[in-house]
Each structure stands twice: as C-alpha cells, then as structure tokens.
Structure 1
Amino acid sequence: MRLIYHIICAAALIIAAGTAHAQVVEDSLRKIVAQRHLPLEQRIDAMDRLGQVVFFNTGWNEGLAVMRSSLALSAPMKDGRYRARTYGIMAASSFIAGDTETAYRYFDSAQHYINRSSSGLMKGYVLYMKGWLESRSHKETDAIRTLQQALDVLEKEPEGLRYRQPVYSELAGIYIKWYDLPNVEKYTRLSLEAAIRLKELEKMISTHQERGSYFLNLYRADTSRKPALDSGLFYMRRSLNLARANRERLITPSNIPFSAIGIASIFLEHFPATPANKDSVNYYNRIALEESRITRQYAVEAAAYNTLASISMNRGDYDDAIANLNNAIGISIKDPLYDKFNLSQSYLVLAQAYELKRDTSMALFNYKQYMNLYQELFDVEKMNKAKDLEARYEMARKERTLLEIRLLAEQRNRELIQARYLSGRKDKELLEARYASIVKDKALLNAKYAAGVQLKALDSANFRTAQREQELKAIGERFNYNRKLNKIYSVLTVALLLSAAFLYYAFKQRSKALRQKQQLHDLELDRLSQEHRMTVLSAMLEGQEQERTRLARDLHDGLGGLLSGVKIELSTLHQPAATSPQQAVVQKTMHHLDNAVEELRRIARSMMPEVLLNYGLGEAVREYCNGLKQSGVPVSCQVFHYRNNMSHSRQVTLYRIMQELVNNAVKHAAASQILVQLQQRDDRIFLVVEDDGKGFDPAQQRALKGAGLANIRSRAEMLQGTLEVETAPGTGSAFTIECAVN
C-alpha cells in the first residue's frame, strides 16, 4: 500500500500557524492585542494569528470566536483586504472542523471583500484558499487552475513568497494523487526551497515530508533506483528529527505522527522483514499512534492501524488484522475530512483478510464497500488505470508472499539461535552467582579486619580530639576578639560611606536645581522676546492700518472733493457750439476727471474698504474678488458660515493677508484660475487661497528671503494662527491660514 502517498495528502490539511511554542505565542499575542495605542492594522493581524493559535491548540469554537472579534475590529476600514483575510482563515478553519456549508459561506464573504481592495497579496491568498477548498471537495482540475492563477498574482508581489509556498505544497499534493511525478518533483522542490528561505520550522517539516514522498514514488516506479529510496527515507527522518527536536516550539505537533507513520510505512513496504527492521516498524508506528491520538490526527491514527493490520497479515494473524482494520475504518469515518481513498484501501484489505479466513459473506460485503468508494473517486478512464495498478499490486503481493516464506525460514533459524543463546545465558548466570558468593565471603573477612583497624584508629582519634578541643577553645577566644574589632571597623566604614553618599546626593540635587533654574530663566527670556516681537509687530501693523485709513480718507474727502469741484466748475462754463473745438476739449477733460475720480475711489477702497468697516470681512472679500473679476482677473470667491463676530483689527489683518496672496498669484503665478475661500467653524476661521499657476520651491523661496511670504507669516503669527503652504514647481499653490475668532 502506498501509505506515504496517503499521509502526505492528509498532511496538506494542516495550516501552519507560526514557529513558536503554542502557549508562549498565545500569551505574547494576547499582550500585543491588549496594548492601548496599537495601530488598528497591527491589532487585526495579531487577532487573526491569535485565532489560529487558539483554534489548533485550545478549541475550534474558541478560535473562531477570536476571529469573529477580528472581523468586528476591521468593519470600519474601507480597505477590504483585512476582512477578506480573516474570512479566508475562518473558511479553512470551518472546513477542518467539518462544517462545509459554513466554510463556503465564509469564503464567499472573503471574495466579496477582496473586490474592495487593491492588495495583490491578499487577492493571491483568496485564490489560494479557493484552490484549497476545491482540492478537498475532489475538484482537482479546478483547484489546479485556481492555484496557477494564485501563483500568477503572487509572483508579482514582493512579499508573495509567504503565500506561494503553501500554493506549491497544495499543487504537489494534487499531483501526488495523480501520480504525475515530474510535476511532483517540481512543486515539492519549490515548496522546500521557499520554506527554507522563509525559515519557518513547521513548513520546513511538512515540505521535507512532501519531498520524501516524491522520492518514494520515484522508487516505486522503478525499484532499481535504490538512491531514490534512501533519499525518501532521509527526508522523512529529517522531518521527524526536526519535529521532535523542536517539539516545544511547535504550534501544530501533528507533524510528529505524520513523519513517524511515513517512516514506519517505508520500513514495512520496502525493507526486508529482519528483526531490526521489524523493530523499526513497531517503534515508528507506536510513535505515530500515540502522537496522533494526542493531536487528533485521525488520518495518521487510521494509517497506524493499517500498518498494524499489515504486520498481522504477514504473520498470519487474520483476527488481529481484522480488529486493526476495523479500528482504522472507525477512526477514518470519525474524521470530518476523511480520505476516501485510504478508507477504500482499508475495506479492500479487510475483504482480503475475511477471504483468507474463508468468511465469504463478510469478504463480499467489504469488497462492495471498497467498490462503492472506488466508483465515487474515479471515472471510467481512471478505473482502467486502477485495474492496471491492481494487477501490479497482485503481482507485487505474490512476490511479497514469496519473500514472507523466506522470512519464515530465516525467522525459524533465528529462533533456534535465540534458544541456544538463552541456554548459554543461563549457564553464565549460574557462574555469576557462584562468583558473587565467593566475593561475599571475601568481603566478610575484609570487614572483620577493617573493624580491628577502626578500633585502633578510634583510640588515637580520641586523643587527638581532646588536643583539638583545647586548640579550638583558644582559637574561639581569638575569633571573638577579632569579630568585635571587625564590627567596630564595619560601623566606621558604613558611617563614612553614608556621609559620602549624602554629600554626593546634596551636590547632585544642587546641580539639578541650578540647571532647572537656568532653563526656567532661558524660557522666560524667550517668552519675553516673543511678546516683545509680537508687540512691535502689532504696533507696526496697527500704525500702517491707521496711516492707510488716514490716506484713504484724505484722498476720498480732499482730493476727491477737489476733482469733483473742478468738474462742476467746468460744467458751468458757457456752452460753446457743440461742434466747436473748445467743446471737444471740455468733454475730453471732464471724461478724464471722471476716470481720475473713479481711480481715486478704487485706491481709497483698496487702502481701507468701506465694506470692511461697515459689513465685515465676508462682504469685503466678496467685493474685492468681484472687482478683480470685472477687471479680467480669473478669481472665484466662496464664503461659508461666516458670522462677522471677529474684532475689527483681526478682520483687517486677515483681509491684508488675502490681498497679499491674491496679488502674488496675479503677479507671479500666471494662474488661469484663483480660488479664495473664507470659512468659519465654531470659533475657528479658515482662509484658503489656491491657484493653478506655476508654483514654486518652498526651500528656494526661504533661501531668497522674500518679503511677501515673510509679511504673511508675521501677520498669521500676530493672529496666533498657522500658515500652511502646499506647492511645488509646476503644480500650483495652496495657502491655508487658520486662527481663532478672538
């Protein structure tokens, strides 16, 4: 029987969950999840890993509950990759737990959420999970197509190796079922190389098993290839040694029974039935049976019983073989993901055992069970191949029967040698008993002599004891004197050390206090310097505004009135003929006076707009932008929720900032569109000026030390606000000023 093949297929059901000891990893993950300031993405990742650890080591329901908590955490996130990954893990976990309907429902959710993500890594993972489910639903052709799509996606991702490795492993498992050895060699090699590069212990263990299975199938195809058999045994032993040497680091210790049953099957199927090889079979089979019960690996436990049944069949104990085969069938049916091929082979061997016992009714019943399972697994073409394989199996079985006859002869010779060995061992034990008696007599004489020697030694010891007591008394007195003296020295030493420590502590405290005082002094100087600078700046800007107001008033009331008077006087002149040259000059002069008055009013409004004084900042910004727009400047204005509850001085300062930014955009940016936006949110004012012009380099602008941006920053600081500049050459500019209402 090809037990290695069946074991590797079952091993593909195990999902690796890490490389640290299960309890240590669980405790570590729980500490990570409990951190208060952990970013949400890291918390979700930790919850997913914790759910897998709990599922495989504590309980299925507990693990799924942790994964549902992870789903609740990722619900507010727009990127669907986190929920897709969690649903994929839950789909595999539910399938392992035997709930196929729930598993596919979870997978549908994973597909839904991965469509809301641009993560190629997670798309590859969801495709892998789809192939994983198709393979276990006996849709191998669909599974291969899906897994190849997953590889196409994952090969483009920098971190795709982490998910390519299980894809390679899954493909290797499918091709092992089809006995496609070239593809098995390719994907087991890629899977092992990826596991070594990832340095993940459990993946290295399972990939060594897969590689060993390939070499064993290669040897079965051509039994003259002895190096292939040696290589298969090497990889299987390497897998078991890795698992047992690092047992405390395994989260899924099921790798131990998988490797053990594989080695037992190799010795049983391919090595002569020598006592040493039989011992090896029993040793590895016992490990597999004990470990599979601990880890609930029903496929391995059933395989172990199949191995015991094969041993019983070889020695002619058909009743024991039937009992072991019934155990294997019961264990396989109990497995929610039992392998139908393994179960069919158990029914086949059970039928053969009943046939050898001449129980034809039970043999026929089990043959029917075997055929029913066989028809479920293969179509007509594969049935023809299976018949050919059965013929080969029968030929191999006949050859093995011949080998068993030879083995019985060798066993009888070995039993005869063993009987002779037991007889010689009894004679040896008799001689050893006589020798022991002689040794006891000699020991008794030696004991009597030793007693006499001890009596003499006791007398001399008593004399030496009395002498030593007197010496000890004198030594004790000297010791007491020295101890008192040492106490005095110790007290003095401790006092000196305490004094030195106190002086050092006082020095440190004084130094610390001086440093703190110096720091406070420096901070106070900085604060006073800042207040002085702000005071000077405020006074300077206030003086400028007052001067602007005065100039605007003088221009409007003085020069404006004067120009209006000149116009009135010209209009009172004697009207000459309409066609005379004098009338043309007068009309031209009055037109120039109108233009001068309008320009004068514009300059006055620019220096101190009356709208700002009368209606506030919002209306002033609208009027300024409308004026520019009428003059041909492409400017747009937006005012939102402005309540005009700022002080007049702060409104003037914001207005000047807006003027400076718009003038810069018109003069230097060559913009096709300028946006001015004024917005109030509660007690915060936001002024935004954007343009689509040529932009500039902020670092170069600071190096040039231009006065424009410096004035704007100074005014923003006077408002105790912030100025944010977003620009780059060729991308336009955006200036945002944020400050409080008062």
Structure 2
Amino acid sequence: MSTNSFHYSILLLLFILPLVATSQFGNTSKIDSLRNELILVKTDTSKVNILSELSLVLSKIDSVGTFQTAFEALSLSQKIKYQRGEAAALFSIGGAYMDYFDLKKADEYLDKGLSIIEQIVQKDSSRTNLKLWLRGHYFKAVNYSYKGDVQKEVEMTDKVIPIAQKLNDMDFLTNVYTNIGILNMNLGQNTDAYNSFAKSNQINKTLASPKRTIFTDLMLSQLLYSMDSIQQMSPFLNEAKTLLDVDSNALDWHLYYTLEGLYHSGLDNYDQAISSLDKAKEIVMNQQMHQEFYTLLQRYALVSEKNNDYPAAVTYMTEYINMAKEKKKPTSIFQGLYKRSQYEAAQENYKNAYTDYVMAIDIYDSLGTAETLKNIKELELKYDAAENEKKILALTIINEKKKSQTYLLIGLASALAFLLFGGYYIYNQRLRKARKKEHLHESEMNLLKQEQQNKIFSAMIEGQEKERKRLAIDLHDGLGGRLSGISLNLSKLDKDEPIKYPKQELQKVMKDLSDSLTELRSIARNMMPETLVKFGLEAALKDYCSSMTGNETKVLLQFYGNEIGIDLNQQVTMYRVIQELINNAVKHAKASEVLVQYMREGNNVDITVEDNGIGFIKEISDEATTGMGLLNLRTRVAYLKGNLDFNSELNEGTTVNVHINIDAA
C-alpha cells in the first residue's frame, strides 16, 4: 500500500469517526421531530433531555447548532440543579470540541461530566444512567485516540465494552467495534482491525441497519486494499452495492465507486478503474462535494501511478494543486506538490521534482528545521554536481558516460526519496494541528455570523411590533375618533327629527367622512404603498416625495436606472429605507430641502439622501444613530446585505449613503 493511500484512509476515517460515535446516519427527520417536541414540552427536565439529544443529532450536521443547544441544556440544568442533564450537556459539548480537534477543551468538559455521572451511578445504576455513563467514557476514549494516547484509549474502551454487553446495547457496541477497527487500521494492525469490523458488521446485520452495514463493508474493502488482499474485496463491495441499489441517492455511492476503482486497479484493470472513478466524479461534482473531489483527484493519480502512467499522474496532481490554490488550502497545496515531486522523480525529471519539493517546503516554512534546510542544501549541491558531471562525462566514452550517469542518478534519486519521506513524515505530524485551527476558526466565524443574524431578526421583530403599535394608535385615536364623531352626529339627526332638510349638518358629516377616507388611505399607503405594487419603486418614490413637498419643505427625487429584476420584498425595504431617511430629514433635522438620488448600475444600487438640516456633531453621531428609528433603518439595510454611511456636520446638513448589491440581498 502506498503512503498516499494510507494517508487517504486516515483523513477519511478521522472525518467519519465522530459521525459513527454519535450514530449520525441521516437524521434530518429526527431533528425536526425533536424541535417539535421542544415546542410542546412542559417541564424543564424534559426540555434538558431533548436539548441534549438534539445536540448529539446535530453533530456533524450543524456545528453551530450543536454548541448552542448543548450550552442551552447546560445552563438550564445548572439552574434547576438537574445533575443528569448537566452531565449529558457536558458530554455533548466535549464531543463538539472533539469535532474541531480542540482536545484540551474537550477534556475539560468531558472530565466535568464524568465526575458527575460517576456520582450518579454510585447511587442509581439504572439503565438510563449507565447508558449516559457509557457515552461519556466512550467520548473520552475517542479523545485519547485523537491525542495519540493509544494505551489510554484501549483501557477506556475495554472499560466500556463489558457494560455495553451487560446492557445488551447493540447500537453502542457496533459503534465501539467500528471505531476500534478504525484505530487498528490507522496503526497498521490489520488483523485486529478486520476482526473489529467483522464484529460490527455482524451486529449491523442483526440490527437490520443497512446504512451502517454499507459503511463497515466499505471500511473492510478499504482495509483489504491496504493489505493487498484485492480479491477478498469483492464480496464486501458486492454487498455494499446491493444495499446501495435500494437508495439511488445514498451518500456513500461516491465512496463505493472510489473503492471499486481501487479494486480494479489492484487487478490491473486500469480502464475499468478509471471508469469507476469517473462515476464517483460525476456524483461528487453534482453534489458539489469539494473535499471529496480533492481526494478523488488523488485516487486518479494513484491509479495512474500503479499503471506507470506518470505523465497522467502529474496531470491529475497538477489539477489538484490548482484547485487547492483557488480554494487557498495551503496544506492541500503542500500535499499536491509533494506527490507531484515523486511522480516527476519517477520519470527522472529531477529538476522538476526538486523544484516542487522546495516549493512545498516554502509553503510550510514552519517545517524548516536546521536538519531540513541542511538536507535541501545537500540536494541542491548534488543537483549542481550532477549537471557539472554530465558536462565532463560528455568528453568520455559513451558507455562509460552512461554507466557514470546511471550511478549518479541512482544516488540522487535515493537522496531525494529519503528527503521526500522525511518531509511527508513531518507534514503528517503537523496536519492535524493545522486542521484543528482551521475548523475552530470556522466555528468561531459561524457563531459570530449566527449572533449577528439573531440580532438582526430580533431588531426586525421589535420594529414590526412598534409598527403595529403605531398603526393601532393611528386607527384608534385618529380614524376611530372621526368615525365615532360621525356616528354621534348621525344619531343626533335621527333623534332630533328635523322639520326641514338638514343640509349643513349633512355637509359636515360628509366632510368628516371625506377626511376619514383620506386618513385611511394615508395609513394604508404607509402599510403597503399601492403605487409600488402596481407601478413599481420609481412611481412610489415620486408619489411619496410629492406628498412630502409643501410650503416649508421641498423633496426632490432623481431616479437613474430601473427596478427590473429586483424582488418586491427588496423594493418595499428600499422604499422604507428612503421613507425613513426623508422623515428624519424633515421632522428631526428640520430640513427645508431634501435631495433623494437612486442610482442603479447592473446589480449595484446606490441610494443617497442629502438635506440642509441642522445636522449633528461627530462626537454624538454614534449615540445618535442608536435610537429605535435609526436602529430599524440599520436593520432594514442589513436585511438587504447593504452598507449604511452617515456624513454630517452641525448646521451643515446630513448626507446618508446606502450601497446595496442585489445578488447579495
């Protein structure tokens, strides 16, 4: 088995390990069910239990959701002093940190949870408590695995297996045996790995769990490939395909075709191998599985390497490197350059091999230890010596020249291979740490984005409630009062039974009705501008600017471009933003002139509202822009994924600029 193949298995299994440990096999419907239960739950303890279970199901599906639900469960448990719920929440948080390879944090939360559950089990060793005890100890075992402490992992695993067998928890046992198989396979203990996977596979069949059976079948196939037992891969691949055929959309199809490709390459059927990899590629491309496509390019290169088609291997690895550069994945670039240098060396293109290797070292300059630099310098000197030697040997006999060159190239190839192996070893040690930092950074960014989104939604809801309250006041105090007056006047006319025709009284009632209709139209226009719905944003803004122009204030609109292709909700939000800015200029800034500009160029919309009002000083601008009116304004702009900028000087007026990208909105 090549080092590249072994590295692939490590990456694959480290990705799947937490998935198996928490039994995540397509639980979208389970998530919906648990969220529905949260709505209906009546007691705090039941809510904690549901939140803890939900955090486990969300693992590897929604990392932000996992942390949020687990911390919510922890906070509520501590508040109501529910120890079992607290332990479950701590285990969920520890597992989530393991997914991001923050092993120190994972240990911190797991140890707290284990301390609590040990005390609980001593008093009450019920099945429910023991199953939670199993979960905590098993997560701790997995964390030992990630830290490379194999002895501790084995000790912890041996501790949980008897309890799982006592409880006859087959679902838990299959996960344990699967992960033990993964551990042994990564350690190169292939016989032990095979036995563990076989036990897991047997349990999966007993449980009638096809998705887990598919997984263990594929892992057994991967293991047999690494053991060069190619023929024995066939039964497991066939069984996996039979189960996959039941579900044409199953997630493991691409992995099946990838292993089928390796199987054919092991039998030297390279055309069939490429055909299988092409099927995997089609699935990966359709599903936009970018990381899997990186791996697939490596598989193509490996098959080409086994077929001694090194030019093709270089082509595939070059595509891999280019994709990694586009995605700005330095570790993948390093890996690609390292493999391509091997393929170049196999073709005796030692200059290209040397260049690729040095570029890889430059990317990971943190690996540039004194020993590595010394080896690079030695390789450089040997390369220069090889070039000089070829010039000297050109003057000698042809046979002697070939003989000397052969010895020189063999020595250079040996030195290069030694350096490449050393570089790969160092890279493999650093890869996990780099991946942990990357995942943790992504998690922090996702949490910040989620918090920002929550603030926006909260502000929008608060703004809607204030708008409803304002509407209720307008209807009650304004229109309601007018209609009450009309009713009283009509009642008085009916009661008095006037002798002559009551013309003046009826004219007053008609005027009140006319004023009421005008006010009703104004309220309706504020709720949803009819002109906008019928004729578009430009017509609605012209109508509004005209209505705001009076003896003391002039509002001028300059509209460049159009609103074609802009969603109605986006148009309404833009209208509200401009409406709010004009109102602020007229009512608060006491402006006599307001200029409104709408400019659209392609997908970019720029809105400027400029007034000659009283303005405000820079020192209070931040405080001034946190009022509810301007907070709602900022919320609407954020909804459009836009930018809002205020420029103002005291007694010099205010200019507000809004930039919106329609695609982003």
Question: Structure 2-normalised TM-score?
Answer: 0.47
